[in-house]
Amino acid sequence: MGLWNDFSRHLAFLKEEGFVTEDNTLTNDGMWASQLRLDQPLMIAEGLRKGVFPHADPALLAALVAPFVHDRDVDMKLDTSTTPKRLVTSYDRMKKALAPLVERKVVRGFDVRPISLWPAATIYGWANGQPWDKVLKIAGTAEGDLAMLVTRTADNLRQLASLTKAYPAVAQKALEAIAIILREPVVVD
């Protein structure tokens, strides 16, 4: 009975959010969102609907996807005075746009992970060609953890790249973002 109750709670929430109709069929948004194989598909889907993911800058797109792939309960402190203003502005805009969904999820008893800036700043630096050693300092993590952040961000970007009909511009920039973050030492040619 617990599984059924959990399923029913999730279904009711998806209906409230406009991904499922009252007669239990997927809406247009539900169709493309159901294709996302991500850790936080609802957050990403809402970000797409709200237009917070840039369709002109692949480095910024990769950066804004990164907070949704980091799943550890570590929130690193980041010196925002050294973080590019463009990134901080876009990150703040994204958090503000997603805040109502976060609140609705909390009210209904769903787990919500923090949307941290440090993964975004780390991936932004890497996507903009900063050396591995400098990016390691931004991340404040071990090399393996940084490599995992990069590869998981690329995996999530692949999911966005599949949305060629619903979000063609974002899909194209996602492909470009993958190309700029998957390089040595993360992948070896």
With helix as H, strand as E and coil as C, how does 2-24 read?
Answer: HHHHHHHHHHHHHHHCCCECCCC
Q: Is position 72 within any domain?
A: yes
Cis bond before residue 185 (omega within 30° of 0): yes
71 burial via Cβ count (<10 Å: 0-12, 13-18, 19+): exposed
Q: Distance between CA 19 and CA 5 in Å, rounded? A: 19
DSSP structure class, residue 82: G
Indicate whether 48 and 8 sit together in one domain: no
- Answer yes or no: is 170 within a domain: yes
Are 18 and 92 found together in one domain?
no
Highest mean pLDDT range out of 75-84, 89-98, 131-140?
A: 89-98
Range of the domain at 156: 36-181
Same domain, residue pair 84 and 128: yes
pLDDT average, residue stretch 127-151: 94
- Give Rg (Cα) of the chain: 17
What pTM was estimated for this model as a whole? 0.92
Number of domains forming the structure of the chain:
2
Residues 30, 41, single domain; the answer is no
Based on the domain organization, do 66 and 144 belong to the same domain? yes
How far apart, in whole angstroms, are the C-alpha atoms of residue 159 and residue 41?
10
Mean pLDDT of the chain: 93
Same domain? 3 vs 61? no
